[in-house]
Structure 1
Amino acid sequence: MGGCTSKPSTGSKLSDIDFPIQHQHNNINDETTSHNTTTTTAAKSPFFPFYSPSPARNWFSKKSSPAPESTPRRFFRRPFPPPSPAKHIKSLLARRHGSVKPNEAVVPEGCEAETGSGLDKSFGFSKNFGGKYEIGEEVGRGHFGYTCKAKFKKGEFKGQDVAVKVIPKSKMTTAIAIEDVRREVKILRGLTGHNNLVKFYDAYEDSEKVYVVMELCEGGELLDRILSRGGKYSEDDAKSVLTQILSVVAFCHLQGVVHRDLKPENFLFTSKDENSPLKAIDFGLSDFVKPDERLNDIVGSAYYVAPEVLHRSYSTEADVWSIGVIAYILLCGSRPFWARSESGIFRAVLKADPSFDDVPWPTLSSEAKDFVKRLLNKDPRKRLTAAQALSHPWIRSKASEVKVPLDISILRLMKGYMCSSALRKAALRALSKTLTIDELFYLKEQFSLLEPSKSGTINMENIKTALTKHATDAMKESRVHDFLASLSALQYRRMDFEEFCAASINIYQLEALDRWEQHARCAYELFEKDGNRAIMIEELASELGLSSSVPVHAVLHDWIRHTDGKLSFLGFVKLLHGVSSRALANKPQ
């Protein structure tokens, strides 16, 4: 389940479970008239903390009150005003407590009942919470639970403060709710060893509650730091924050874990010190995902949700979109997408482009704008990965010592390359020779992480060793190693850096660059010299794996130049994308 997201009364907090998504204004310093969807009490906030209740009702109320206390998410209380591009999202979110995920058993009818009768609420956690910890003051409260301080009673940590997330079992009214708690603990237990990840101690239960014991971070939320700065960070300070966020998210993605609820409240500082490390918290909506797998359940927080999540087909790229939203906010103090209603929020996320024309964007570096734009690309195929973002020139200009982690997406790209025809491999090799120094930096880092032999080559054993070196128990749960079977061809040969570059190129990301045309034209010229030859349409169809039932002449006629029978520039570009026989067969004639 998600974490307690209410503001702590004192100290810091760790988040708890789900909230209804509420509405927000755009600029963090705007005055906002609002309506609390839970209490139906109108309120006007003199400070805008990114998250304010909906202004839909009592819009012109003059009554003032403190800033709202919780970050909303997941469940909507009011119907969407049609028309909306997200008109089905309400019902999908509302069914979260009774719906099932892919490959899961069907939840029996009646599981969504408030009583939760018939559900097994035994988790197998330790039973002696009271014997190990002395619970203290409450520091945060959410819709389904609350967070308290506590102290170790004995042992090597005696007297040490911790944070305890307390989840009443009475709130777990569905099988999905129970599974969310179970999975959150499994992820926290499995993910270990990163400096920017909140430390997990243990989970306990009794007949009434579940207790999740974690590191206490007393420096407050990233959200509070942003507000204290008036909503704007300098580029250098923003880089420092984003480097930590990207580092821990890249680590999670390597382990096969997608967070799915990244936002400023879910990052806490360990202390009040200005240079305090930042810790990622709240894995209540997280899930395991293999490199070639897609998720389809809609979860997250409205302003940070990626377009592909709304389309119900997404993976780790959705987290990078959320980081892009955080980056935009850090640099300019406003949200990239804003509306006064849930449907308006989703319409903006799906259709609108973020503005880079308003102050202070004209005064920021071109590298900063390029960085944010490449994270906020609506096409997840063209979006940078977290590891790639750490290799971006804007990030590296601040901290050249930033360690670029192994990128799990490399495996997926290599799989596509290994399954490609000889003709496509030749085209990719030509394209790899046009890469810039900045683009090669990332690939060199990835190749070195695979620890090539003295001959400068890698094979399957290098990949297995690299994964094992960086693996946690979470990687075993996500079964990332199972994916290696798709690279079985590397068991019998080795790959040098030049071929690795060809295998690891993301065509869609290059296509998103302004210089893509130059890349493609230069690559085609190299291909013309080294690999282009006369080819019959039937031979090309065989290369692409097209069956005889496909009208090959109709779909491939513009791939080959009629003058000399060689691959045309259009055909070359299509070949780079690895067009499948299914896509060609389904092409309208």
Structure 2
Amino acid sequence: MGCSALTKLKAKRRHQQEIFTVCPIWFIHENLQKVLDVYTFNSLIGEGTYGQVHLATHKLTNQQRAIKIVNKRNIKSSELKNKFINEISVLKMLDHPNIIKLYEFFEDDNSYYLVTDYLSGGELLDYILKNKVLSEKNTAKYIKQALESVAYLHSKNIVHRDIKLENLMLESNEPNALLKLIDFGTSIISSPFKKLKTYKGTISYLSPEVFENEYNEKCDLWSIGVIMYILLSGKMPFGGRDEGEIIRCITKGSFNIKGREWIKISPQATDLLKKLLNPNPKLRISASAALSHPWFTANIQEPSQSIDLNTVLSNLLNFRAEFKLQKAVMCFIANNLMSQAEKAELAQAFKCFDTAGDGKLSENDLNKACKKVLGYKISNEDIKKIIKEIDADKNGSIDYSEFLIATMNRDKLLSAERLEMVFKAFDSNGCGRITGDDIKELIESHEMEDSYWNKIVAEVDANGDGGVDLKEFKDMMLSCL
């Protein structure tokens, strides 16, 4: 019955097309269960002023996560509470391979719990301390990734305001591990034309204009310039015996690139460094412009041949999802069930196709990818259709999670074991069926009427009993193969 019933449902759906948006933020919200009912705590991996960070395992999916525990006694002031809430609000908006991912959060009488990626490679600072000065090629690799994360933030009018070595972490200990930007507690959403007034950040990384209490997103570029200087030389560009002396050195804006450690550094590297550390924010280079600097072309090689760009692009171009529930499930899988290893190759492919470095794929990006990988162009009309099919949140481009959904290995990710995991996650009350109420509860949406969610279920409810059982669920998902 499954296949024939599904075929009839597909035909019925073609006459009932309506706009449906799905995005990762759907699945990022407060989990009302007890954190110990959902996660097994494994070990303490970090400790700070406001709490601890533990390595934990998600009981249903077996995925490793980092859980930041913030003791409520440590954030009694409204400023600290706002910082914590701000971090959650901003992270929910972000979807980029070089930015830490938030999965969910919990609260009990004593603490808040923030569940994020587990970044086993540690801080870039520790990597530097271990390796001392990096080569230009390695420096270029990390600076480019930092700039890509910042270009994405700035495209969304978000200013990080505390970019430093401690807030850049490596996803793993692998040689090509992704760099991830973390700690969004001091970040702010700001109009491109609005000057920020509040003094935020870590002294040694702050730009001159921040001390004048009038700055914009260009402060993040200065911070990346400071990091680039440290990676190339092993020294801070602006030093001093105390904070006052450091601030005077920064506001003066002069730094030394004439020591012994700079002899082998290329003119292209120092050119970009000067543009990032220009004391005049109006003349300081932007993140998007910096990504086009020839220093990166000279030092960063094409992606490894181990990345099968042909297969990735083919999956992207041929992606189809007939039903709304299919799209929601695939978004859930891409954001909650894919391991770091499964995402790694796709993340590299995404960055290869994202020629503008803004964290999304445009029509122009896809045209260039087709010409480069396949050797021919696809018509603009077909490109528009492809983007329309994949663009689940209807913002006119393909975001990172949408790319993962369209290009993931469906044979592996839609295995019987994983489908049963997802079914259990959607079947919130464990009754053996997914109903409209289950979907509404999972994504915590109260904007739509119950009838809206019931229609989504009805699309794939082959026997018409008002819910999707496991067999109907598997039939629906396996039709994607």
Q: Scaled by the length of structure 1, what TM-score is found?
A: 0.47
Deviation at 1:329, TM superposition (A): 0.6
Aligned match of 2:49:
143
Aligned match of 1:205:
107
CA offsets per residue over residues 340-362 of structure 1, 9 Å max, x none? Answer: 10111111111140101112213
2:251 alignment partner, SS class: helix
Deviation at 1:400, TM superposition (A): 6.9
Aligned match of 2:176:
275
CA distance in 1, matches of 2:74, 2:248: 32
Among 255, 259, 276, which residue is 1:375 paired with? 276
Asked if 1 retains the 8 angstrom alpha-carbon contact of 2:288 and 2:357, the reply is yes
CA distance in 1, matches of 2:394, 2:217: 20
Asked if 2 retains the 8 angstrom alpha-carbon contact of 1:255 and 1:472, the reply is no
Among 75, 90, 100, which residue is 1:187 paired with? 90
- The answer on 1:235 being equivalent to 2:136 is yes
RMSD, aligned CA: 2.7
Instruction: Compare CA radii of gyration and give the structure with the larger one.
Output: 1
Asked if 1 retains the 8 angstrom alpha-carbon contact of 2:148 and 2:358, the reply is no
Aligned match of 1:331:
232
Deviation at 1:176, TM superposition (A): 1.9
CA distance in 1, matches of 2:295, 2:289: 12
Aligned match of 2:80:
177
Deviation at 1:472, TM superposition (A): 9.6
- The answer on 1:126 being equivalent to 2:31 is yes
Deviation at 1:467, TM superposition (A): 6.5
Asked if 1 retains the 8 angstrom alpha-carbon contact of 2:137 and 2:300, the reply is no
- The answer on 1:386 being equivalent to 2:293 is no
Matches within 5 A, 1:217-236: 217-230=119-132, 232-236=133-137
Deviation at 1:399, TM superposition (A): 3.2
Asked if 2 retains the 8 angstrom alpha-carbon contact of 1:320 and 1:375, the reply is yes
Deviation at 1:404, TM superposition (A): 4.2
2:56 alignment partner, SS class: strand
Matches within 5 A, 1:341-360: 341-360=242-261
Asked if 2 retains the 8 angstrom alpha-carbon contact of 1:285 and 1:299, the reply is yes
Residue type at the aligned position of 2:30: F
2:43 alignment partner, SS class: strand
CA offsets per residue over residues 500-555 of structure 1, 9 Å max, x none? Answer: xxxxxxxxxxxxxxxxxxxxxxxxxxxxxxxxxxxxxxxxxxxxxxxxxxxxxxxx
Among 294, 317, 327, which residue is 2:218 paired with? 317
Q: CA 1:315 to 1:222, structure 2 compared with 1: closer, same or farther past 3 Å?
A: same
Asked if 1 retains the 8 angstrom alpha-carbon contact of 2:105 and 2:115, the reply is yes
Q: Which has the higher helix share?
A: 2
Aligned match of 1:289:
190
Q: CA 1:228 to 1:472, structure 2 compared with 1: closer, same or farther past 3 Å?
A: closer
CA distance in 1, matches of 2:269, 2:232: 9
CA offsets per residue over residues 472-524 of structure 1, 9 Å max, x none? Answer: 99xxxxxxxxxxxxxxxxxxxxxxxxxxxxxxxxxxxxxxxxxxxxxxxxxxx
CA distance in 2, matches of 1:404, 1:310: 35
Deviation at 1:126, TM superposition (A): 2.8
Matches within 5 A, 1:440-455: none
1:349 alignment partner, SS class: helix
Runs of 4+ off more than 4 Å: 400-404, 465-468, 470-473
Q: CA 1:353 to 1:395, structure 2 compared with 1: closer, same or farther past 3 Å?
A: same
2:120 alignment partner, SS class: coil
CA distance in 1, matches of 2:394, 2:237: 38
Q: Scaled by the length of structure 2, what TM-score is found?
A: 0.58
CA offsets per residue over residues 234-283 of structure 1, 9 Å max, x none? Answer: 11111111111111111111112111111111111121122211111111
Q: CA 1:470 to 1:160, structure 2 compared with 1: closer, same or farther past 3 Å?
A: closer
For structure 2, the 5+ residue unaligned runs are: 1-28, 303-351, 370-378, 381-392, 402-481
CA distance in 1, matches of 2:98, 2:160: 14
Asked if 2 retains the 8 angstrom alpha-carbon contact of 1:145 and 1:166, the reply is yes
Asked if 2 retains the 8 angstrom alpha-carbon contact of 1:219 and 1:271, the reply is yes
CA distance in 2, matches of 1:388, 1:266: 23
Aligned match of 2:460:
none
Deviation at 1:470, TM superposition (A): 6.2
Asked if 2 retains the 8 angstrom alpha-carbon contact of 1:222 and 1:264, the reply is yes
CA distance in 2, matches of 1:472, 1:175: 34
Deviation at 1:287, TM superposition (A): 1.1
Q: CA 1:270 to 1:130, structure 2 compared with 1: closer, same or farther past 3 Å?
A: same
| Aligned positions, number | 296
Deviation at 1:307, TM superposition (A): 1.1
Q: CA 1:257 to 1:471, structure 2 compared with 1: closer, same or farther past 3 Å?
A: farther
Asked if 2 retains the 8 angstrom alpha-carbon contact of 1:238 and 1:327, the reply is yes
Q: CA 1:138 to 1:406, structure 2 compared with 1: closer, same or farther past 3 Å?
A: closer
Aligned match of 1:405:
356
Residue type at the aligned position of 2:83: D
CA distance in 2, matches of 1:197, 1:286: 13
Matches within 5 A, 1:146-165: 146-154=52-60, 157=61, 159-165=62-68
Deviation at 1:185, TM superposition (A): 0.3
Asked if 2 retains the 8 angstrom alpha-carbon contact of 1:243 and 1:390, the reply is yes
2:174 alignment partner, SS class: coil
Aligned match of 1:214:
116
Deviation at 1:136, TM superposition (A): 2.8
Deviation at 1:469, TM superposition (A): 2.2
Aligned match of 2:203:
302
Asked if 1 retains the 8 angstrom alpha-carbon contact of 2:55 and 2:64, the reply is yes
CA distance in 2, matches of 1:398, 1:471: 27
2:105 alignment partner, SS class: strand
1:244 alignment partner, SS class: helix
Deviation at 1:468, TM superposition (A): 4.2
Q: CA 1:337 to 1:387, structure 2 compared with 1: closer, same or farther past 3 Å?
A: same
User: Whose relative contact order is higher, 1 or 2, with alpha carbons under 8 Å and at least 6 apart?
Assistant: 2
Residue type at the aligned position of 1:225: Y
Identity of aligned residues (%): 34
1:162 alignment partner, SS class: strand
Asked if 1 retains the 8 angstrom alpha-carbon contact of 2:42 and 2:54, the reply is yes
Residue type at the aligned position of 1:372: L
Matches within 5 A, 1:532-543: none
Deviation at 1:127, TM superposition (A): 2.9
CA distance in 1, matches of 2:131, 2:122: 14
